[in-house]
Amino acid sequence: MTGSPGSTPEADVSAGAGASPDAAPVIETRGLSKRYGGQLAVDRLDLSVPAGSVFGFLGPNGSGKTTTIRMLMGLIDPGAGTVRVLGHRMPDAARTVLPQVGALIEGPALYGHLSGRDNLVRYDSADPTADPRTRKARVAAALDRVGLTAAAGKRAKAYSLGMKQRLGLAAALLTPRRLLVLDEPTNGLDPQGMREIRTLVRELARDGTTVFLSSHLLDEIEQVCTHAAVMAKGRLVTQGPVEDLAATARGRLAVSTPDPGDAVRVLKENGVTGIAVESGDRVTGDPPPDGDLAELTAALVGAGVRVRGFGLERASLEDVFMQLTGEGFDVTG
């Protein structure tokens, strides 16, 4: 892998520690809306993406992520509200902003009969700001960056989906970027391909690039992102550091017991809701908002329920979503 692509002062984060809270947001929207016919695809969105973050833009299919990304990139005009990217108003400043932004939206456009390397040469040649004399080195560095040096001579049509996606990323990284915008970058990839993309995203962030990625996969966001925004039906449900988001949701209570029937009864009597019996001897539920866990254990033991294990399991982003919207997270499609 190559060294850091020209890091900027606000992007100079220590050891991938995440965002620089003092720097101006890399993306900022105010009251951003877009209507298609009678439907509000994006509804008064206030988004703030800190410099140096890996920002997950999360929401079920149809929640307005792609429409938002298109407005961020100046591909469609906002119906109402404002968009600032790297401090400039979009779409007015697209010519200034877009050369500093690498984007991978709806999969890379590749020529199957050309090698991976020649595809990158084509991309680089299409960039009027790219110096042809240094093209070879740029292409080699981008291939190296995404781990495709060994496969660079192969035709792109022989690439796996993950390799194609990495080649698309290489194209987005031919010149140093302050911001990378990736729309569902792991969509359709197998677990190995997903891991490769995640590793790459982490490395880019370590080198100072702010990464904004959309996903409908909650665990993906939890694994790779420092910050996240959650969308539902065009609206922002919540945003902030991933750790804080998960901390706002109550964890789920889990009791391991050979007496699940009695445990369910006692937990119900003590205000536990949403109780489920899993795999015969594991009972889970939502603890009462002000409930004392010590009291719950005492109640179980006092009622003669044999308890092997008792604890509060960390809330996931899925719990956050459920608690904020009252809906499940539909990840189909």
Ligand X SMILES: Nc1ncnc2c1ncn2[C@@H]1O[C@H](COP(=O)(O)OP(=O)(O)OP(=O)(O)O)[C@@H](O)[C@H]1O
Residue with token string 């029937």: 261
Size of the residue set binding ligand X (CB under 6 A): 12
Instruction: Select from 20, 32, 51, 65 the one that contacts ligand X (CB under 6 A).
Output: 65
Minimum CB separation from ligand X for residue 41, in Å?
Answer: 3
Q: Is residue 29 close enough to count as binding ligand X by CB under 6 A?
A: no
H or E stretch covering 54: strand 54-58
**Phi, psi torsion values for 319, nearest 5 degrees:** -60, -40
User: What type of residue is 301?
Assistant: V
- Using the contact rule CB under 6 A, the part of the chain among 36-44, 219-227, 289-297, 321-329 near ligand X is 36-44
Of the pair 74, 208, the CB lying nearest ligand X is at 74
Instruction: Select from 33, 48, 67, 209 the one that contacts ligand X (CB under 6 A).
Output: 67
Minimum CB separation from ligand X for residue 197, in Å?
Answer: 17
Instruction: Select from 62, 107, 251, 288 the one that contacts ligand X (CB under 6 A).
Output: 62
Minimum CB separation from ligand X for residue 40, in Å?
Answer: 8
Distance CA 298, CA 308 (A): 13
Of the pair 39, 134, the CB lying nearest ligand X is at 39
Instruction: Select from 53, 63, 215, 226 the one that contacts ligand X (CB under 6 A).
Output: 63
**Six-digit token pair at 191?**
């677990």
Minimum CB separation from ligand X for residue 62, in Å?
Answer: 4
Q: Is residue 64 close enough to count as binding ligand X by CB under 6 A?
A: yes
**Six-digit token pair at 16?**
């991938």
**Six-digit token pair at 93?**
């400043």
Site string (39-58) toward ligand X, x via CB under 6 A:
x-x-----------------
Q: Is residue 36 close enough to count as binding ligand X by CB under 6 A?
A: yes
Distance CA 197, CA 256 (A): 37
Chain centroid to CA 50: 14
Distance CA 319, CA 245 (A): 10
Of the pair 63, 119, the CB lying nearest ligand X is at 63
| 6 dihedral zone (left: phi>0; alpha: psi -120 to 50; beta) | left
**Rg of the chain on CA atoms, in Å:** 23
**Six-digit token pair at 72?**
């961020």
- Note the residues at the interface with ligand X (CB under 6 A): 36, 39, 41, 59, 61-67, 216
